[in-house]
A and B are shown apart, each in its own frame.
Chain A
Amino acid sequence: MNNPCNPLSAQPQLQRRRFLSQAALGAGSVALASLLQESAGGAIVQQHAARARRIIYLFMHGGPSQLDLFDYKPRLQAYHGHELPDSVRGNQRLTGMTSGQASKPVTPSVFPFRQHGQSGAWISELLPHIAAHVDDLSIVRSLQTEAINHDPAVTLLQTGHQQPGRPSFGAWAHYGLGSENANLPAFMVLVSDGSAARPADPLYARLWGSGFLPSNHQGVALRASGDPVLYLSNPPGISANARRDQLDVIADLNRRQLAQQRDQEIATRIAQYELAFRMQTSVPDLTNLNNETAGTLAAYGPQCNQPGTFARHCLLARRMAERGVRFIQLYHRGWDQHYNLPSDLRLQCQDVDQPVGALLSDLKQRGLLEDTLVVWGGEFGRTTYSQGNPTATNYGRDHHGGCFTMWLAGGGVRPGTIHGQTDDFSFNVVRDPVHVHDLNATLLYQLGVDHRRLTYRFQGRDYRLTDVHGNVLHKLLATT
């Protein structure tokens, strides 16, 4: 009887939904309460104790190669240059880019792997800093997705559906859990370009959009140049004092209108202008790194000194975590190594390895890793066979949804574990497959939310992030 199409499988959510629809449609005082809800009162859909209060999602956009980073396949050498056996290939869908390629030569990684930490996980030489944290990670090598192209795959991972139209993960989290900091958006997004020579694949506003949820749940992108949040700064010529004066008059006039119309939406609007004013301080405070020590800055690597880089974004992510931002979404572009993988993947890893290592250390050192769930991965993996003719030093890999690797850290996941196993070709999952929906169900679970009960009715149906699927991966979770 747990069919998710049933709106009443989630009684409290039904009320939450009505509550919100009411808020959106006119009962302003309620909207205000929702907006300004502090964590104490915000856990409307929390069905169990949360292990994570927030998520830092390090999204490697383009599909990093599991074969060259985390999924060590020593036996692949024996097949080097041979055709991928039909028995391995099975009936997995291939993209239109290589389904017609006559030869599908098995191509082992050129990068040496080494075992690390207590867990003994094999990690390639490209990620030394992340490898140093291996005992904090819960590595899932058996992720699966049915999508084999960027747009549907990234949309599935981030919204639970391949086709556009659904709310993004962050929007769901915000909708379900509210905000922990009244002066900052609860869902923030940071986008950086990768160093790979290959052109970066596109991103879409929908990936941090609110879909059919009210738009106040959409992510707010923090930008590297210009205003960090769009339209945050006063126009040239308007000082903070002048603005304050102007806002006071606006508030006085709005209050008179409220007394006359008695529409609580006006009360909400008055509060929103105050909040906007506070954001003009709280956002610059977030992005101002003057109080960071030289040691901290150095730890994140030299690129951290430059706005807009992934390294800078990792540091900002920590600062957001400190300030209670609920969902911190980073995108690093450029992981689509169809060709020239050895050269481009090295560059991509160089962009992220040290900053991610530093982020984990920094969170840990500040006691934030306990309740911050860090997620690393992309929308799919890459093929065992080379796209195009491989040479001794150069090859490429096509998209592969049949298996890929992601890892989680902090936020109550079991550290130092390796979940799932793929075959010798890293082409099929042979143990503990994990679907995208399972991953999302698990992430929600750590936030204290039952993924089956966080629903929103739209067009007569109760939708949820995990569609009609998803199982929580309890094996990944630390025992309390």
Chain B
Amino acid sequence: MQRLLRIGPVLAIVLLSQQSRATDDRVRFNRDIRPILAEHCWQCHGPDAGVRQAGLRLDLRDSAMQAADSGAFAIVPRSPQQSELLRRINTNDPAQRMPPADSHTPLSDAQVVLLRTWIEQGAEYQRHWAFQQIARPSVPEIDGVKHPIDAFVVARLKAQGQTLAEEAAPQQLSRRLHLTLSGLPPATNLPLDQSPGNYASAVDHLLASPHFGEHLAVGWLDAARYADTNGYFGDKPRQIWLWRDWVIDAFNSNMPFDQFTIEQLAGDLLPNATTRQRIATGFNRNHMANNETGIIDEEYRVEYIVDRLDTTLTTWMGLTAGCSQCHDHKYDPISQRDFYRLFAFFNNGPEKGLISADNPPPLITVATPEARQRLAQLESATVAARAQFAPIKTHLAAQIADWEADTTKPLPALPIDDVLLYEPFDGGDFAPPSMPLGTGLTFERGVRGKAGRFDATQHLEHPFTAFDVNATWTIGFWIKPDGSLSCLLSKIEPQGRRRGLEILLQKGRVRVNLVAQWGVRSIAIGTREPLASRQWHHVAVTYDGSRAAAGMRILIDGTPADLAVQQDTLGHIGRGHSSPQSCTNQEPLRIGRRDSGLGYYGVLDELHVMQHVTSPNLVSAWHRGERLRGILATDVAERNDFERAFLLDDYIAHNTGKHVRAAQQRLRQAVETERTFRSTIPTTLVMQDLPTPRTTHVLVRGQYDQPGETVQPGVPAAIGQLSDNAPRNRLGLARWIVSRKNPLTARVTVNRLWKHCFGHGLVRTMNDFGTQGEPPTHPQLLDWLAAEFRDSGWDIKRLLRLIVTSRTFRQASRHQGDTSSDPDNRLLSRGPSYRMSAEMIRDHALAVSGLLRLRIGGPSVKPYQPPGLWREVSYNATETYQADTGEGLWRRGLYTWIKRQAPPPSFLVFDGTTREKCTIQRAVTNTPLQSLVLLNDPVFVEAARVLASRILLLPRAEPGAADKLSAGSIPRTEHRLNQLVQHVLSRYPDNRERQLLSGLVRRQQKRFEQTPATAHALISIGHAPCDGTLDPLELATWTVVAQAVMNLDEAITLR
């Protein structure tokens, strides 16, 4: 195998040169010579001045003809004998021979011959094909070929002695056309009418469909690295779906591509920029953004700009500038200076490298007129509610004063039973036998009287053994934490099994570990919501001795908290143990510390430890009782906002009538409704320039902190230049990108649209139009299409119509004759055939089942996903994926929420990307994991089940129906199989296929009859309701059969 590989490409090169010279004896620089020089010479004799050897530069003709440092002339046109280059590549002297042996890049004999011939013929250079201006080639005239695309393709085929393949079968063509233009299979069950008029109208119909824009958008979202989170470190959610919807809409409204370009790159700089034009600039805000504490701001700000530059250049011009960030490009004429001149266009935003908001500014809020109106209503409702409540509040103030003065008023009870320890932290001696250790506590005003302030350098130890963590207990206290990580209280061994109890604050959440053996047998629970820092909270933990997490409760401010159970293994009996293990230990109770390491930062007050379970009602009273007593004991003037609010709320809740409570409730409701609605008004990230542009420097070796010479904004000299009157900002750049001066944009864009239809570009290296990329398979066709596209006003739909109406597109995709003759379809000797994308495969399954919800746009959605994927990787393991209910489960794939840190797993398996970087061309792989997804992912199982119900609910075929296959009284199973296959593959099965599938029906039916429970299990998958009229066994049977058909290669392949 290895040997075969080694000779393969060389043979190919020789064959190719022979082929090309069969029709033309002249050596052509771009076709024959440039690849040799680029691969073998330019590394040391190319554009990069930094590493150039011997003063010889071979990528420019003028330089190549000059004397090198040695005085020798590398190339003397028409004089092979005098050309040092030929001597050096032919010499046997290892010290002289080029390329040097240690480069491991020897030239082949064929290449040496080519170089000699080229020099003999005058050593003419050509500009790299992609950088040449687009000259519209004339369409080859071929008898019987009308369509210009076909003319170019047939001309090339003819030269190889080949022809176009026959036209694809009508059903196949219909399916291909629908999938190409809308990403969805044909909705109708009728075969496509073959007549030319009908094909054309189907094309028009599809181009006008709103699903056209959705399908076209996917590739653009890949290029723009669109996602729903920020990507680095914390990977928090961001809002930029309005930009995604802008793209869909732009494709649907057939926005000319030049306008599409200008608005996305510089919409904000257009005169009187509209909101929509500003939304469009989100293209270059889709880069990742970092919130990791400790990063260096400028380092990341530079990184974002480099990313923008790379993305823009790759997307529009098929070039990568990455190399030039640090040094002159080795192969392409983009110098390091060019790089930073481009950088200068993007260097003027007001953004930061270290972001502090999930939606890093600049951003805009985009409210629809209806939303604006609704918000105004809600605002006035809040004002009204406030006004209504104001006199009540005044009135209450007097009542509260009277109430306070009443010394006989009842107050909620405090714990008195079984109190093993009560520590009020009032600044006097500690409750014996507590011992202060470390630097000593300071005291400040607390909830009641004083409270102890900890800074992790001190704690209290209570060396009593009366308190047994194995039994029932309640621990309660008030905390006002400074940080989000602390140990509040512990009675735990520092190492070994770490038996005992600890109460921690982790990321602001209260966490309790009750341990018999660390990590093996313990209860570990925590609150889901973090506490507000720098506010007083009452924390109570109760445990009923049941050795189960269910027996442990955490109450925050008197209310049982929503808990996450991390471990619940305390009751387990392990190997070698006949009874559960104990958590009892001889450690002291440590207040404000775990062991040697983890302390408490913040204030602590009113600690109670009890050897019983306090009921939630009593904890609630305890919380109120302590708080109220504390407030009432404080002089009115010295009470803070929290205390005043607590008193008012508590008084209203317990001492007032219905109407006061209702008025307060109305106000709360109004405030909350307004807040909630406000949060639903979307924002989106946009580009914006500072009033004064930043000065841009070349960054030495690409380092953010090593500025070199100053540069002005500009485009790479080798490709073109801005006109004198063009603004030196993104708008000037955008206009140049779509100007005639830049030949790359039109070529790159038609290549992308070609790929959209054929699965491959005419230039196979979609993201590299530079000298290292592959030249086009059909250069003339590419240029003709580029000219046509540009001259038609950058009309995308027109170009696609042109492509899909060609015979080239309409060919059968079956491999012809000898499969090795054109394995990659480089000659376009057959129609397109490729495995569909992750999104298409999902959409297809949902569409054929009828589950697909076709709403366009809106916030991203969260379909089914296996549990735990976010938790496993997110910061502090706190993020969980909450799947949508209802519509969000069945939307098209492009609306699926993309978390860069953990992208949708089934998409990754089908070559979807993480959207971390610009992607122009996804890989197309074929793996076992794909089979597992299609067979077992609930979304596909559900779709099969819903498709099965659809088939089972079909009326029996009517005699005389148009279709002869369903005419008459064909057996029911056959009819159903016909319909099933028709739904999924847009064609009827043949006899043998029907036979195979009906065998499956029979056998599966029998299986389910034997074990009816399994049928119920299968048809219960997914949220889509089951039709109650169907026989569950039959539904399960047909679910399996539908799955089989949906798993066929044909179902997930566009052919």
Contacts and interface: CB of A to CB of B under 8 A. Distances in A.
B457 A253 contact: no
Nearest to B354: A96
B866 A227 contact: yes
B966 interface: no
B408 interface: no
Given A204-B901, A459-B314, A342 B597 contact: yes
B924 interface: yes
B815 interface: yes
A246 B1049 CA distance: 14
B259 interface: no
Most buried by B among A16, A213, A266: A266
Contact of A230 (B495, B518, B825, B905): B905
Interface in A241-272: 241-243, 245-246, 249-250, 252-254, 256-258, 260-266, 268-270, 272
Give chain A's interface residue range (CB within 8 Å of chain B). 35 or more
A24 interface: yes
A276 B520 CA distance: 34
A238 B1018 contact: yes
B1014 A199 contact: no
A457 B772 contact: yes
B271 interface: no
A204 B873 contact: yes
B925 A215 contact: yes
B1028 interface: no
A197 B504 contact: yes
A8 B99 CA distance: 11
A343 B594 CA distance: 8
A389 B760 CA distance: 61
Interface residues of B, number: 149
Given A164-B914, A204-B900, A346-B597, A242 B927 contact: no
Nearest to B938: A235
B823 A1 contact: no
Contacts of A204: 235, 873, 900-902
Interface in A295-322: 302-303, 305-306, 309
A90 interface: no
Contacts of A345: 597
B1050 interface: yes
A85 interface: no
Given A262-B814, A276-B929, A391-B457, A19 B5 contact: yes
Most chain B CB neighbours (cut-off 10 Å) among A15, A27, A233: A15
Interface in A159-194: 163-165, 185, 191, 193
Nearest to A185: B929
Nearest to A152: B295
A249 B103 contact: no
A205 B303 CA distance: 20
B875 interface: yes
Nearest to B483: A339
Nearest to B764: A25
Nearest to B766: A459
B518 A195 contact: yes
Contacts of B322: 459, 461
B410 to A, nearest CB: 42
B927 A27 contact: no
Interface string A29-41: 0010101000001
A202 B926 contact: no
Given A191-B872, A204-B901, A460 B332 contact: yes
B364 to A, nearest CB: 27
B531 to A, nearest CB: 15
A40 B925 CA distance: 23
Given A1-B100, A245-B1003, A306-B569, A15 B927 contact: no
A125 to B, nearest CB: 10
A150 B233 contact: yes
A76 interface: no
Contacts of B867: 225-226
B406 interface: no
B917 interface: yes
B993 interface: yes
Contacts of A148: 294
Contacts of B932: 229-232, 276, 279
Given A1-B99, A231-B932, A269 B1049 contact: yes
Given A266-B1049, A276-B929, A246 B6 contact: no
Contacts of B518: 195, 347, 350
A201 B595 contact: no
Contacts of A394: 456-457, 596-599
A202 B997 contact: no
Contacts of A218: 908
Contacts, number: 383
A235 B1018 contact: yes
Interface in A333-364: 339-347, 350-351
A437 interface: no
Contact of B928 (A96, A279, A399): A279
Contacts of A16: 5
B919 to A, nearest CB: 8
Given A245-B1000, A276-B931, A461 B519 contact: no
Contacts of A110: 596
B931 A249 contact: no
Contacts of A286: none
A374 interface: no
Interface in A380-426: 389, 391, 393-394, 398-399
Query: Which residue, of A1, A149, A216, A460, has the highest number of chain B Cβ atoms within 10 A?
Result: A460
A199 B483 CA distance: 13
A200 interface: yes
A214 B1016 contact: no
A288 interface: no
Contacts of B690: none
B768 A460 contact: yes
A77 interface: no
B135 interface: no
B121 interface: no
B701 to A, nearest CB: 12
Contacts of A265: 835, 926, 1049, 1053
Contact of B43 (A3, A14, A191, A264): A3
A345 B595 CA distance: 12
Given A191-B873, A200-B877, A350-B495, A343 B595 contact: yes
Contacts of B835: 265
Nearest to B936: A231
A205 B902 CA distance: 5
Nearest to A258: B1049
A44 to B, nearest CB: 7
B926 A246 contact: no
A302 B520 contact: yes
A17 to B, nearest CB: 10
Given A263-B815, A276-B931, A389 B926 contact: no
Given A97-B294, A205-B901, A15 B9 contact: yes
Contact of A303 (B520, B813, B993): B520
A351 B1036 contact: no
Contacts of B993: 253, 256
Nearest to A24: B923
Given A226-B866, A394-B596, A242 B1040 contact: yes
B1007 interface: yes
A302 B875 CA distance: 27
B1006 to A, nearest CB: 10
A275 interface: yes
Contacts of A81: none
A262 B815 contact: yes
Given A236-B1018, A264-B819, A269-B931, 7 more contacts: A35-B927, A215-B925, A216-B926, A230-B905, A270-B1049, A275-B928, A344-B598
5 contacts: A16-B5, A97-B293, A151-B292, A204-B902, A231-B933
What are the 5 tightest A-B residue pairs by CB atom distance, in nearest-first order? Answer: A343-B597, A237-B1018, A199-B876, A8-B105, A95-B294
